[in-house]
Amino acid sequence: MTVTKFQDLPLADRDREWDGDAADRHVRKWADADDQPTARYREAHVWYDADNEDNFTAYKLLIADVVDGRLAAVPRAVMAAAGVVQGARGGVDIPDDELPRVRGHLARYYAKMEDEPPWESAD
């Protein structure tokens, strides 16, 4: 189990709508991952279960979509992932000891958005 390497993806427009199912279809096509995940497919996610890397269900926290033929982090996806990490929408099945690294990964995108992650502003 591991946090993916920070890709420093360009940001999509902040007001871009987020449709995770559509983004997953776009990323699979872009990554040539029709039958099984590829390294390029992994780039769009924050975390994956390395023991099951050949299974699409091993990949969690999709934060990117294909925009103009390039992979881009979608701010609304980053915010949704942060909410899931904070326990909104039922949370996500990631080991507790990996959550600080996941938060660190997401915090780097928040910095690119010139915003503060929710765990920094929590009272």
Confidence of residue 88 (pLDDT cuts 50, 70, 90): low
DSSP strand pairing (45-48 vs 2-3): antiparallel
Residues above pLDDT 90, as percent of the chain:
80
Element (H, E) at 111: helix 99-112
Report the chain's C-alpha Rg in angstroms.
Answer: 14
Domain ranges of the chain: 2-121
Q: What's the angle, vertex CA 107, arms to CA 6 and CA 90, rounded to 5?
A: 100
Tens digit of pLDDT for each residue in 46-68? 999 999 999 999 999 999 999 99
Amino acid letter at 62?
L
- What SS3 state is found at 78? helix
Cβ atoms 77, 23 nearer than 8 A: yes
